[in-house]
Amino acid sequence: MSIDEKDKFELIKYRLIEAKDTIEDVQLLITNDRLRASINRIYYGMFYSLLALGLKFDFEASKHKQLIGWFNKNFIHEGLIDKKYGKIINKALNRRTKGDYDSYVEFEREIVVEMFDEMKDFIHEIEDFINRK
């Protein structure tokens, strides 16, 4: 394994750890009724796992929508990953954007808990996919 490949492997590993660490952050936020902040971290946990996927397949993007578009085109539309994961990440992006930039936004606990479960499933699916390839 060349130095570059070793570095790439380490960065993929780091991004997956970062995604999993975010799960713990979200649990703390939900426990403390920080629901809007939870939505932000739910999205970023999934985003970190997509960064790992991009690294695995030599794709880099400077914008979130570029990365998600690449994911949807190359993995969801090609049938390599179940289409429900495309819906999960798109919904999370939309809610995160709303929570971060709109005024007076509140999220119901039930919605946040459902998204948290989806986040854990999403991260697990992406990590499994990376490890299978």
Which one, of 67, 68, 84, lies nearest residue 121 by Cα?
84
| pLDDT at residue 61 greater than cutoff 90 | no
**pLDDT digits 0-9 by tens, 21-51:** 999 999 999 999 999 999 999 999 999 999 9
Rounded CA separation 62/40 (Å): 19
Calpha distance 113→120 (Å, rounded): 11
CATH code 3.30.420.40 for 3-132: no
pLDDT at 14: 97
Report whether 122 contacts 85 (CB < 8 A).
yes
Query: pLDDT for 71-96, tens place per residue?
Result: 999 999 999 999 999 999 999 999 99
Whether residue 114 contacts residue 95, with contact meaning beta carbons closer than 8 Å, is answered with no
In the structure encoding, which two tokens stand for residue 63, read together? 């914008």
Residue 46 · residue 121 · CB < 8 Å: no
Provide the pLDDT for residue 17. 98
Please give the full DSSP string across 10-21, using - where no structure is assigned.
Answer: HHHHHHHHHHHH
Q: Where do the structural domains in the chain lie, given as residue ranges?
A: 3-132
For residue 16, the model assigns a pLDDT of 98
Q: What's the pTM value of the predicted model, to 2 decimals?
A: 0.94
pLDDT category, 3, cuts 50, 70, 90?
low
Mean pLDDT of the chain: 95
Band (2; pLDDT cuts 50, 70, 90): low
Q: Give the pLDDT confidence score for residue 62 in this predicted structure.
A: 84
